[in-house]
Amino acid sequence: PIKACLFDLDGVLVDTAVYHFKAWRQLAQSLGIDFTEHDNERLKGVSRVRSLEIILEIGGKTLPQEQILALCEQKNSEYLLDVAKMTPEEILPGVVDFLQALKAEGLKIALGSASKNAQLILERTQLLPYFEAIIDGRHVVNGKPDPEVFLKGAEALGVLPEECVVFEDALAGVEAAKNGGMLCVGVGQPEVLTLADIVVKDLTEMSVERLHSLAQKG
């Protein structure tokens, strides 16, 4: 039986991709790199440092590690200016209804995100009270597709991996869930999230019934 749901943050609960893109694009420009919206897809689910490494790869540049860390700090300061202005209106469709339904049925809820800003974003959008555990970029050594973030989430909730369903919009995140032995609902396009057990457009398509039927199928 399913006992818990583990949610990715960016792209599943809130759409912060536009703010990440804005801040990375500005930084890339200052380095003379043309970073496009298409390139931005590659940064989904990927850590901050790894994101900058990808941008440098695109621009054919290399930088010393200390400069990479300084630039990441600089990008994050820009990003936080937008996060500070976030409101509950930026929660994606279906999210609040589904979280409330899970709570009503006694299912456990945790966050499994690569972001070091996860707690702050949950606070800004007033989603924090729904989460019994928050595992994010501050708690993991190995980023997605390593299952660490979700395994730690299951552990924090006191449930087994096979009792969890993960919600993910990034391919690396779906891989992380499957690597951890968990069921996974992809949020986005079926052509991209091929490894997910089912794919939904957004959480308006989810219900507690559909969650349980997922376990029966598998």
> Is 217 one of the annotated binding-site residues?
no
Please identify, using beta-carbon distances, which residue of 117 and 125 lies nearer to ligand BG6. Answer: 117
Instruction: From the list Mg ion, ligand BG6, none, pick the one residue 43 interacts with, judged by a Cβ distance below 5 to 8 Å according to partner type.
Output: ligand BG6
CA-based nearest residue to 14, from 102, 139, 73, 99: 99
Residues 100-119 that bind ligand BG6 (CB under 6 A): 113-117
| Residue 8 within binding range of Mg ion, rule CB under 5 A | yes
Please identify, using beta-carbon distances, which residue of 15 and 73 lies nearer to Mg ion. Answer: 15
| Residue 188 within binding range of Mg ion, rule CB under 5 A | no
Instruction: From the list ligand BG6, Mg ion, none, pick the one residue 137 interacts with, judged by a Cβ distance below 5 to 8 Å according to partner type.
Output: ligand BG6
Quote the crossing angle between the two packed helices 208-217 and 95-104, to the nearest 10°: 70
Q: Which two tokens stand for residue 103?
A: 């709570």
How far is it, in rounded angstroms, from Cα 191 to Cα 156?
32
**Annotation says 34 is catalytic:** no
Q: 4-36 burial, b if ≥16 CB within 10 A, otherwise e?
A: bbbbbbbbbbbebbebbbebbbebbeeeebebe
Site string for ligand BG6, 136-175 (x = CB under 6 A): -x--------------------------------------
Instruction: From the list ligand BG6, Mg ion, none, pick the one residue 46 interacts with, judged by a Cβ distance below 5 to 8 Å according to partner type.
Output: ligand BG6
> Is 116 one of the annotated binding-site residues?
yes
Size of the site for Mg ion (CB under 5 A): 5
In sequence order, what are the beta bridge partners of 164? 4
Choices 16-24, 104-112, 123-131, 165-173; region in contact with Mg ion by CB under 5 A: 165-173
Residues 14-73 that bind Mg ion (CB under 5 A): none
Distance of CA 196 to the CA centre of its chain: 15
- Residue 134 contacts residue 122 (beta carbons within 8 Å): yes
Instruction: From the list Mg ion, ligand BG6, none, pick the one residue 165 interacts with, judged by a Cβ distance below 5 to 8 Å according to partner type.
Output: none
CA-based nearest residue to 92, from 207, 205, 211: 205
Cis (ω within 30 of 0) for the bond into 145? yes
Among 4, 6, 14, 43, contact with ligand BG6 (rule: CB under 6 A): 43
**Mind spelling out the 3-state secondary structure of 88-114?**
HHHECCCHHHHHHHHHHCCCEEEEECC
Active site residues: 8, 10
Where along the sequence are the contacts to ligand BG6 (CB under 6 A)? 9-10, 20, 43-48, 51, 76, 113-117, 137
